[in-house]
A = this chain, B = another copy of it.
Amino acid sequence: MTTVRIYVTYKPSVFDPQGAAITDSVNSLGHTEVKQIVVGKFFDVTLDENDLDKVEEDVKDIAESLLVNFNMETYKTEILEEKA
């Protein structure tokens, strides 16, 4: 079993309204030291597969065919866990 984390964030060129709104809220709570908050999501995908090349291929296909909206988003992956 392998668990891969897929991080999805807005492309730098895309305005993040949620992040901006949260930053304003946090500043209004008195945390003026906070300059920016960027919001993202992640998916922890557990696969019954130990061949890392196959895992990478599967995760790429899953991310690009379902999880990531390429018009606005970009993604990175990280292997969290490998269990024989």
- Listed in ascending order, the chain A residues whose CB lies under 8 Å from chain B are 1, 7, 19, 22, 25-26, 29, 31, 33-49, 58, 61-62, 65-67
What's the Cα separation between A16 and B48 when bound, in Å? 20
Given A31-B61, A58-B31, A66-B29, A36 and B46 touching (CB < 8 A)? yes
The reply to whether B26 and A62 form a contact with Cβ atoms under 8 Å apart is yes
Q: How many copies does the complex hold?
A: 2
Can you list 12 pairs linking A and B with CB atoms under 8 Å apart? A22-B43, A22-B66, A29-B62, A29-B65, A29-B66, A31-B61, A33-B49, A34-B58, A37-B44, A40-B42, A41-B42, A42-B42
Given A35-B47, A48-B35, A25 and B66 touching (CB < 8 A)? yes
